[in-house]
Amino acid sequence: MFFRRLAIILLCIQTVKLAGQSSKIAITGRVKCEINPKDKMVCVFVKLSFNGEDYMEVECDTLGGYLMEVPPNMFEKYKTGKLTVNQSWDCIRNKYPQDRDCPYLSFRPPMFMSTRSENLITPLETNTNYIANFKVAPVCVLPRTPVFGFKKNSTELTRISGFDPDSTFNCLLGVVKSNPNTIFKITAYTYHEKRPRHLAKNRLAVLRNKFISNGIDAERIVTVIGEATPLNEYEIKKAKTKEERQALEAENRRATLSIVSFDYDPKLKKEVIQKPKAVDEEGDD
């Protein structure tokens, strides 16, 4: 599935004059998600360039903090520097490699992107330090999400979109166990079925209990009833045969799994930060 990206970055720069003199100009600040400020900044870098050439790049800590120390002569020579913020995909791939036994799944931290880069800084004096705080919006990243299929009006698992339920579960179980700090969300959907809300809850219970019975802490699992809007409504309407239409409809009787946090502490058996609340949406058609 193609990645869809949407990001906005707002930059607020203010100057702070220190009482004492310094041999270098400090540029410091924090990169923070404006939607969810608690999101960790993983593989997020702030870059300083002069006259179109990169001068320095530093990686933010997980809270988004960063610090640069720049000799005053750089600003004396070029007058103005440019700050940009970005998230490195290569860094993320190295820290969160794709599981070979589960190639359609990638467990990754929250993703962000910067589209605005004209963030200029010009020190008023050589002893002026800068605070540059970035606010970023999350990127919508849609990889090939692992899917569990269900038979119509049933909680019985079945093959869907090329996913075998047993292979999918064993794959996910292995990845979840090898990433003990993850909290993951199971979302169940229905399509033209009897008692859809009740059925979606039962489908969630089947998968939740399956993970728990295989050694996964219940506190790591968030369950959500998905929206009623089908994935492929246009394709269903254009289906030429009954068999084609039924196959397309079956793709909407599903459950998906995604990561919502990397902050579960298995020793304390509770989250370091508050677990996101499940959005219990109506699943009726």
pLDDT at 278: 47
CA distance 220 to 125: 51
- The β-bridge partners of 30 are 65
Q: Is the pLDDT of residue 186 over 70?
A: yes
| 283 within 8 A of 200, measured Cβ to Cβ | yes
| 283 within 8 A of 225, measured Cβ to Cβ | yes
16 pLDDT band (50/70/90 cuts)? very low
Percent of the chain with pLDDT over 70: 73
What architecture is the 147-271 domain classified under in CATH?
2-Layer Sandwich (3.30)
Tell me the mean pLDDT in the region 61-89: 87
Tell me the mean pLDDT in the region 227-238: 86
103 pLDDT band (50/70/90 cuts)? low
- Which one has a higher pLDDT value, 9 or 235? 235
The domain 9-136 belongs to what CATH superfamily?
Answer: Immunoglobulins (2.60.40.10)
| 40 within 8 A of 92, measured Cβ to Cβ | no
- Can you spell out the DSSP letters for 256-279? EEEEEES-EETTTTEESSPPPPP-
Which residue intervals of the chain are DSSP H helices? 72-78, 89-95, 165-178, 196-212, 233-238, 242-250
Tell me the mean pLDDT in the region 184-204: 95
Assess whether the region 9-136 and the region 147-271 belong to the same CATH fold. Answer: no
Domain residue limits, the chain: 9-136, 147-271
Render the burial of 83-102: b for 16+ CB within 10 Å, e for the rest: bbbbbeeeebeeebeebeeb
Q: Is the pLDDT of residue 208 over 90?
A: yes
| 84 within 8 A of 117, measured Cβ to Cβ | yes
262 pLDDT band (50/70/90 cuts)? confident
Q: Is the pLDDT of residue 48 over 50?
A: yes
- Which one has a higher pLDDT value, 13 or 256? 256
